[in-house]
Amino acid sequence: MSSDPHSPDRRGPGAPGLEIGTMARDVTSDQVGRIMAHLSGRVYLRPPGGGREWTANPEDLRPISASESLRARVAEANRRAVRGTR
């Protein structure tokens, strides 16, 4: 882990299983997202189908199971299909 507090890291401080690229649930907003970065004590997440990132505290995130991840991706694909976008 870098000593620079502004340097992105693959793992969040004290956040086992919350590495960049993994899916997690933000318990404060009940949103599921892919972890994009850890920066200055915050975690940046993006919805499974893309979209606007949001930030969360690492302690508010929980890793999700493979079935929960699949459910989130299917729901996003269905939303895109209804909107007529890819």
pLDDT digits (tens, 9 = 90+) for 24-74: 999 999 999 999 999 999 999 999 878 899 999 999 999 999 898 888 888
Domains belonging to the chain, first-starting first, are 11-79 (2.30.30)
- The predicted structure's pLDDT at residue 6: 46
Gap between the Cα atoms of 37 and 15, Å rounded: 13
**pTM as predicted:** 0.70
Give buried/exposed letters for 19-53 (b at 16+ CB in 10 A, else e).
ebeebbbbeeeeebbbbebbeeeebbbebbbeeee
